[in-house]
C-alpha cells in the first residue's frame, strides 16, 4: 500500500505501583529520529496530546519497507524504594491496531553495578502465545525477546536494582530539602524581624506613657463613639448604641422598651421618639444616626428599622472615623493601614501557593516547593503584625491614656468612693461605659441611685427600677439593635508498602503505539 505519515505517541502516564516513590513528573525530552543508517530524519513534527508527545513522520512510500530509530530521554519513571530501586515500564505500548511481529528490549546498567542484586521479570502479554517471551542477564545488561505481540496489548518489564545505581534528582535530594528548610526559616525570621522593626519605627504609638493615670471624668472633647473609635481603631455597632443613649440623655430622643405579643410569650421591643429639640449641635455622624432612626417618622419601633437602617451604616461608620481622624488622633486611616498589610500578606500567600502547586510542580523544581510554601507563614506574619501598624499621634496617645484611665476608674471604683455621685453624673458616664464595654461594672455600683426612671427612658419593669435594670435594658437594646441595624433584604505519585513485582501488563510507565496512513 501507499503511506504518507507515521504517528508515534509516547505515553507519559504514571505507573500504578506500590512501594517506593518517584520524583517529579514523567517527562519525555530530546526526541530524535534516525533512519536505518543513523542519519537524522527530516520532516519530523512533534505535537502534543493529553497523554504525552506525538512524533509524526511525513514521507512517501508504496509497497516498501521503512526503518526508523526513535531516541529520547524518559524522565521520572524510576521508582525509588526503601531498599532497592525499580524500573517498571511498558516497553511496547498498547496504543496500536496492528501486531508487533517481534521485539527485543535491553536494560543496560553502568559499570560497577552489582548484577547479582539485579532482579527482573515481565508480565504476560494478553493474547500472546504461551512462552513467547524470553529473558536473561548478560554482563551489565538485562534482555528480553518476544514473539508476536497482538494489537492493543502491551509488553511490560519490571527490573529491580541496588540503590545508588540511579541518583535521586538533585532538587529532590535530602541535602537540598535541608537547604530549603534552612532558607525558609531564615526567610520567616527575616520577615518577622522586618515587621517588628517596622512596627517599632512606624506603628508604635507616639509618646504613649507606660502607665495610664486613673481619671474620674470622661474626656471633655471626645464623645462616646469617638472614644470607641480611638480604642478600637475602627467604628463598631456598640458605638452607635452608645451614641443613641448619649443623644437620649442630651434630650434629642426618648428610648422606649415595649412588650410585643409573641406566640408563646411576649417579647421585648425597643422604640425611639424624636423630641424635636434643636439638633444644630450634632456632629455629622450623630445627624446620620438620627436620620437613619427617623427616616419613616418621628416615632419608630425596632421592627420599623429592619431591612432599612442598614443603608445608613457605612456612612455612619465612615463619619465616626473621619471625626476622630480630623482631630489628629491617628497618623493615617487605621483601616487603610491594616488593609495595606492585609493585601501584601494575601498577595504573598497566593504567590507562594501558586508557585508551590503549579510552577514548582510543572517545572519539576523539587523541594523548591518548601521555599514557596514558606511564603504562607511569612504572609501570616505580615497580616498579624500589620493589624498593629495603625499609629496614634502624640495627641491620640495622650487621649488614649486618658480614656484607659477613665475605663479603669469605671471598672474598679468602690461604692464608698461614689457616694457623692448623682443620677446626672451616673447617666453622663453611661454612654462611655457602653462604648468601652464596662456597662455592667459601672451600673452595679449605683444600684440604688434611681428611684424613678430618667425622663429619656420609658420601660416595663415589674420589680422596681434601678441602675442595674437600666444597664441590663440598654445592654439588651445594644444586642438587639446590632442585628436590626445590620439586617438587609434577602436576595434572590507515590505509594507505601509492597515490593518488587506485583504489577500487570500495561501497568507500567510509558507505552504509546503507532498509527500510519
* DSSP code per residue over 98-115: S-B--EEEEEEPPTT--G
257 within 8 A of 267, measured Cβ to Cβ: no
CA atoms within 13 Å, Cβ hemisphere of 206: 12
Model pLDDT, residue 417: 60
Place of cell 516498501: 64
Provide the 3-class DSSP secondary structure of residue 4: strand
CB burial readout 337-372, b (16+ within 10 A) else e: bbeebeeebeebbeebeebbeeebbeebbbbbbbbb
What lies within 8 Å, CB to CB, of 1 at 6+ separation is 62, 63
Provide the grid cell at 485: 441595624
Model pLDDT, residue 494: 40
Cα angle 311, 317, 323; round to 5: 135
Model pLDDT, residue 496: 38
Long-range contacts of 414-420 (CB under 8 A, 24+ apart): 414/445, 415/445, 418/445, 418/446
- Among 498, 504, 495, 493, which Cα is nearest to 158's? 504
Model's pTM, two decimal places? 0.77
54 within 8 A of 10, measured Cβ to Cβ: yes
Provide the grid cell at 32: 530524535
Q: Using only the alpha carbons of the chain, give its radius of gyration.
A: 40
Place of cell 445627624: 287
Q: Alpha-carbon distance 67 to 247, whole Å?
A: 96
* Length of the chain counted residue by residue: 517
Model pLDDT, residue 392: 96
Domains of the chain: 2-167+505-516 (2.60.40), 204-332+391-485 (no CATH)
pLDDT (tens digit, 9 = 90+) per residue, 43-83? 799 999 888 899 999 888 898 888 899 999 988 889 999 99
Model pLDDT, residue 298: 94
| Spans in the chain with pLDDT lower than 50 | 492-498
Provide the grid cell at 388: 498593629
Model pLDDT, residue 66: 86
Provide the grid cell at 454: 430618667
198 within 8 A of 389, measured Cβ to Cβ: yes
Q: Alpha-carbon distance 312 to 481, whole Å?
A: 14
Beta strands in 289-378 (DSSP E): 299-301
Amino acid at each position: 500500500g501507499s503511506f504518507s505519515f507515521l504517528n508515534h505517541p509516547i505515553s507519559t502516564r504514571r505507573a500504578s505501583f506500590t512501594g517506593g516513590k518517584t520524583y517529579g513528573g514523567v517527562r519525555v525530552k530530546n526526541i530524535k529520529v534516525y533512519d536505518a543508517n543513523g542519519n537524522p530524519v527530516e520532516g519530523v513534527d512533534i505535537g502534543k496530546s493529553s497523554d504525552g508527545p506525538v512524533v509524526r513522520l511525513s514521507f512517501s512510500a508504496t509497497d516498501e519497507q521503512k526503518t526508523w530509530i526513535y531516541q529520547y530521554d524518559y524522565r521520572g519513571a524510576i521508582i525509588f524504594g526503601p531498599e532497592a530501586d525499580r524500573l517498571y515500564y511498558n516497553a511496547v505500548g498498547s496504543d496500536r491496531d496492528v501486531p508487533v511481529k517481534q521485539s527485543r528490549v535491553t536494560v543496560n546498567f553502568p559499570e560497577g553495578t552489582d548484577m547479582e542484586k539485579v532482579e527482573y521479570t515481565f508480565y504476560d502479554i494478553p493474547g500472546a502465545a504461551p512462552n513467547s517471551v524470553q529473558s536473561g542477564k548478560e554482563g551489565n545488561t538485562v534482555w528480553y525477546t518476544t514473539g508476536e505481540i497482538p494489537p492493543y496489548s502491551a509488553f511490560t518489564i519490571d527490573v529491580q536494582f541496588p540503590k545508588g545505581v540511579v541518583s535521586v534528582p538533585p532538587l529532590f535530594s535530602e541535602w537540598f530539602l535541608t537547604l530549603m528548610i534552612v532558607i525558609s526559616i531564615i526567610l520567616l525570621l527575616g520577615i518577622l524581624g522586618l515587621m517588628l522593626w517596622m512596627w517599632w519605627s512606624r506603628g508604635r504609638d507616639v509618646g504613649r506613657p507606660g502607665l495610664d493615670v486613673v481619671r474620674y471624668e470622661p474626656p471633655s472633647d471626645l464623645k462616646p463613639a469617638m472614644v470607641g473609635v480611638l480604642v478600637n481603631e475602627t467604628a463598631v455597632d456598640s458605638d452607635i448604641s452608645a451614641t443613641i443613649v448619649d443623644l437620649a440623655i442630651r434630650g434629642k430622643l426618648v428610648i422606649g422598651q415595649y412588650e410585643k405579643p409573641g406566640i408563646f410569650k411576649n417579647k421585648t421591643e425597643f422604640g425611639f421618639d424624636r423630641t424635636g429639640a434643636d439638633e444644630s449641635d450634632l456632629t455629622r455622624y450623630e445627624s446620620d444616626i438620627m436620620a437613619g432612626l427617623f427616616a419613616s417618622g418621628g416615632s419608630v419601633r425596632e421592627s420599623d428599622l429592619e431591612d432599612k437602617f442598614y443603608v445608613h451604616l457605612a456612612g455612619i461608620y465612615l463619619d465616626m472615623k473621619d471625626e476622630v481622624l480630623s482631630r489628629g488622633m491617628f497618623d493615617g486611616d487605621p483601616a487603610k493601614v491594616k488593609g495595606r498589610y492585609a493585601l501584601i500578606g494575601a498577595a504573598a500567600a497566593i504567590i507562594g501557593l501558586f508557585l508551590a502547586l503549579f510552577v514548582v510542580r510543572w517545572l519539576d523544581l523539587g523541594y523548591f516547593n518548601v521555599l514557596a510554601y514558606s511564603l504562607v507563614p511569612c504572609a501570616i506574619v505580615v497580616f498579624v503584625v500589620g493589624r498593629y501598624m495603625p499609629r496614634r499621634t502624640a495627641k491620640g496617645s495622650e487621649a488614649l491614656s486618658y480614656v484607659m484611665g477613665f475605663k479603669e476608674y469605671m471598672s474598679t471604683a468602690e461604692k464608698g468612693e461614689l457616694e457623692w455621685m448623682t443620677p446626672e453624673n451616673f447617666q453622663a458616664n453611661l454612654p462611655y461605659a457602653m462604648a468601652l464595654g464596662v456597662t455592667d461594672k459601672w451600673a452595679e455600683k449605683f444600684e440604688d441611685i434611681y428611684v424613678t426612671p430618667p425622663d429619656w427612658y420609658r420601660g416595663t419593669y415589674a420589680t422596681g427600677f434601678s441602675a442595674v435594670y437600666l444597664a441590663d435594658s440598654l445592654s439588651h437594646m445594644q444586642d438587639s439593635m446590632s442585628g436590626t441595624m445590620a439586617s438587609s433584604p434577602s436576595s434572590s505519585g507515590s505509594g507505601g508498602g509492597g515490593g518488587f513485582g506485583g504489577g500487570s501488563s500495561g501497568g507500567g510507565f510509558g507505552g504509546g503505539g503507532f498509527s500510519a496512513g
